[in-house]
Amino acid sequence: MSHLVIAPLLVPLLAGIALLLLGLTLSSPARRTLSLAAVWVQLLLAIELWHLTSGGVVLVYHLGNWPPPWGIVLVADRLTSWMLVLTALLALFALLDAFRGTDRAGCHFHPLFHWQLFGVNGAFLTGDLFNLFVFFEVLLSASYALLIHGGGTERVRAGLQFVVINLVGSTLFLFAAGTFYGLLGTLNLADLALKIAQIPADDQGPVRAAAFLLFTVFALKAALAPLHLWLPPAYAATSAPVAAFFAIMTKVGAYALLRIETLFFGDNAGPLSGLYDDWLLILGLISLVLGALGALAATALRQQIAHLTVASVGLVFVAFGVETRASIAAGLYYLTHSTLVTAAFFLLADPIARNRDSLADRLAPGPALAQAGLLGGLFVVIAILVVGLPPLSGFIGKLGILSAALDTGDWPWIFGVILFSSLIALLALARSGTLLFLHRRPAVMEGRDHPKPIPGYLPWPTLGLLMLALALTIGAGWMLDAAQALAGQLCDAGDYLHAVLQVDRP
């Protein structure tokens, strides 16, 4: 049993502990070095794990040496490793950005950050329903703390709502988990999948109810409409690196939905197969429209980005809802793209806001920005990525989803909504871009109020994320092939079941 599977959990956990214990004695640079080193190690581990699983092997780790379904298992397949790599990459850049001062704005940034990673990685790796709940709690409680890190009225206000909503979500999760256990008598995901496939007709009612409770919970985490309302204020209020890293949080919900959808209710999952598909599609389309409209209505840049995040999540779910291999592959590609780009956008919004003094990121004519060329250029590139204009990765992802949607009967709707929302996003970003970079406040043009460039600021983390997006564009062929293989493994689910329980699907 390769310990590599658990390494992505142990590294952040121990790093968090070390940073907590040494936090008071170590100097700030030493802390940063340690923190960064831990993230690098995670990245390497994740890449190695991808390397191991990309051939189609599913790695299973029996925690405590107890065999499944009794013990908790960690399962690493292609999807898991993919998400782990993405998380580590995102963490790397978010952390680098945090070094610009966010980590010193309050206490315990580094332990919180690493434990958040612990939670996220755990949610990706675990193969147990209740353990998934526990990891959700870990990542959520870390996120609560990170959200309000640095303090301030807005953050506290947004934080309170975020926390309460998510606590209710956790309660629903427990209701769902309890129902699953109470009817099927197990918690292991693979075992649950087997039992769901053989569920007698009389027991379907409560199981379906639990399935939809779980759906609600994951949809909430993933910010699927109409449960997306918590996201904009929360993401708009928090600090830039945290918001950037939060880009992965909605993806955890998306991951969980995808996992459950394919494992429990996949193509050959017995009477309940395809339970989520329609809902995913419909709610995805609604999120897409609402997110785009929200972006158009936004009065501040971060708010706009947050709404665009909702839209991007919606698009991912449209892809998952179509539920063909091609669509899931495209959806994952788009998910990866949107995670990186949203993060880059949040990181960019910060210097823009800081450049505009009291106006901050409000979408109103303001003073000429220092470094307007640089920031504006980055803004244009990111806008292209977000709207999905060619030739960058956003376009490719959207294209993939559109062409996969052609295989379904619903394509006119899907086409219509996706294209319409893209147009709205385009209008929204054109508006905000013009307001932020081109439209000057008259008084300022007279030169009374000279903007001060942020000393020494070069948006390296943003640039880094954009480089990744560029790599995603250039390597799109390769990425999509990998995603296709991944989707194949996911849709079949046989590998997973076999690896965990050594049984084949009946």
Partner 1 sequence: MEALLSLMIGTLTAGGVYLLLRARSFAVVLGLALLSYAVNLFLFASGRLILGAPPIIDPRAGQYTDPLPQALVLTAIVIGFAMTAFVIVLALKAYVELNSDHVDGRTDQEL
Partner 2 sequence: MSLLFTILLPLFGAPTAFWASRFGRIKSAWTAGIITSGAVLCLVTEIPSVAAGQTLLWHLEWVPMLGVDLDLRLDGLGLLFALLILAIGLLVILYARYYLPERDDLGRFYAYLLFFMGAMLGIVLSENLILMLVFWELTSLSSFLLISYSYRKRESRQGARMALAITGMGGLALLGGILLLGEVAGSHQLSAVLVRGEAVRADPLYIPLLILILLGVFTKSAQCPFHFWLPRAMVAPTPVSAYLHSATMVKAGIFLLARLFPVLSGTTAWTWLVMGAGLVTLLFGAWIALFKHDLKGLLAYSTISHLGLITLLLGMGTPLAAVAAVFHVFNHATFKASLFMAAGIIDHECGTRDMRRINGLWRFMPYTGTLAMVAAASMAGVPLFNGFLSKEMFFAETANFATGLDHGWLLPLLVVIAGALAVAYSLRFIHDVFFNGTPVDLPRMPHEPPFWMKVPAAVLVGACLLVGIVPEVTVDPILRLAAGSVLQGPLPEFDLGIWHGFELPVVMSLTALLAGVFLYALRRRLFRLAARLERRIDAGILYERSLAELRLFAAWITRRLDGSSLQQRLLFLLLAALALGTWGFVGASAPLLGSRILMPIDGMSLMITAGFILVILTTLGLQKQRFTALIVVGALGLLVSLVFVKFSAPDLALTQLVVEIVTIVLLLLALYFLPQQSPDEPGRVRVGRDALVACAFGLGTGLLSMSILTRPFTPISGYFLDNSLPKGGGANVVNVILVDFRGFDTLGEITVLALAALAIHALLKGLRLPGLTRDNEGRPWNWDLHPVIMAVLSRLLLPLALLVAVFILLRGHNAPGGGFIAGLISAVALILQYLSNGVTWTHQRLSGNMLPPIGAGLLLASLTGLASLWFGHPFLTSAFIHVHWPIVGDFELVSAMLFDLGVYLVVVGATLLILIQLGGMHRATHPGKRG
Which residues contact partner 1 (rule: CB under 8 A)?
130, 134, 137, 141, 144, 148, 152-153, 156-157, 159-161, 163-164, 167-168, 170-171, 174-175, 177-179, 181-182, 187
User: The tokens of 25 are what?
Assistant: 């004695």
Q: Which stretch binds partner 2 (CB under 8 A): 79-87, 163-171, 350-358, 494-502?
A: 163-171
Q: Between 393-405 and 301-322, two packed helices, what is the crossing angle to 10 degrees?
A: 40
For residue 59, give the H/E element and its range: strand 59-62
Q: Which of residues 37, 44, 419, 467 is near partner 2 by CB under 8 A?
A: 419
Cα distance between residue 425 and residue 419, in whole Å:
10
Separation of CA 19 from chain center = 25
Q: Which of residues 37, 423, 443, 458 is near partner 2 by CB under 8 A?
A: 423
Longest dimension (CA), the chain: 77
Q: Residues 117 to 146: which contact partner 2 by CB under 8 A?
A: 118-119, 122, 130-131, 134-135, 137-138, 141-142, 144-145
To the nearest whole angstrom, how small is the minimum distance from the Cβ of residue 94 to partner 1?
23
Residue 293 near partner 2 by CB under 8 A? yes
To the nearest whole angstrom, how small is the minimum distance from the Cβ of residue 344 to partner 2?
18
Residue 406 near partner 2 by CB under 8 A? yes
To the nearest whole angstrom, how small is the minimum distance from the Cβ of residue 215 to partner 1?
18
The binder of 153, among partner 1, partner 2, none, by C-beta within 5 to 8 A per type, is partner 1
To the nearest whole angstrom, how small is the minimum distance from the Cβ of residue 267 to partner 2?
19
- 445 with 368: CB under 8 angstroms? yes
Residue 315 near partner 2 by CB under 8 A? no
Cα distance between residue 361 and residue 324, in whole Å:
40
Q: Which is nearer to partner 2, 365 or 453 (CB)?
A: 365
Q: Residues 190 to 219: which contact partner 2 by CB under 8 A?
A: 191, 201-213, 215-216, 219
Residue type present at position 429? L
The binder of 264, among partner 2, partner 1, none, by C-beta within 5 to 8 A per type, is none
User: The tokens of 478 are what?
Assistant: 């390769």
Decide: residue 452, CB within 10 A, 0-12 exposed, 13-18 middle, 19+ buried.
exposed
To the nearest whole angstrom, how small is the minimum distance from the Cβ of residue 191 to partner 2?
7
To the nearest whole angstrom, how small is the minimum distance from the Cβ of residue 185 to partner 1?
9
Q: Residues 463 to 482: which contact partner 2 by CB under 8 A?
A: 476-477, 480-481
To the nearest whole angstrom, how small is the minimum distance from the Cβ of residue 332 to partner 2?
13
**Within 10 Å of residue 481's Cβ, how many Cβ atoms?**
12
Measure the CA angle with vertex 155, ends 153 and 159; round to 5°: 120
The binder of 494, among partner 1, partner 2, none, by C-beta within 5 to 8 A per type, is none
Q: Residues 447 to 466: which contact partner 2 by CB under 8 A?
A: none
Q: Which of residues 186, 262, 336, 338 is near partner 2 by CB under 8 A?
A: 186
- 401 with 422: CB under 8 angstroms? no
User: The tokens of 250 are what?
Assistant: 């909605």
Instruction: Enter the DSSP assignment of 188.
Output: B
**Within 10 Å of residue 406's Cβ, how many Cβ atoms?**
12
Q: Which is nearer to partner 1, 178 or 373 (CB)?
A: 178
User: The tokens of 327 are what?
Assistant: 């669509």
- Residue position matching structure tokens 């990309």: 54
Q: Residues 74 to 113: which contact partner 2 by CB under 8 A?
A: 106-108, 111-112
Of 464, 291, 476, nearest to 393 (Cα)?
A: 476
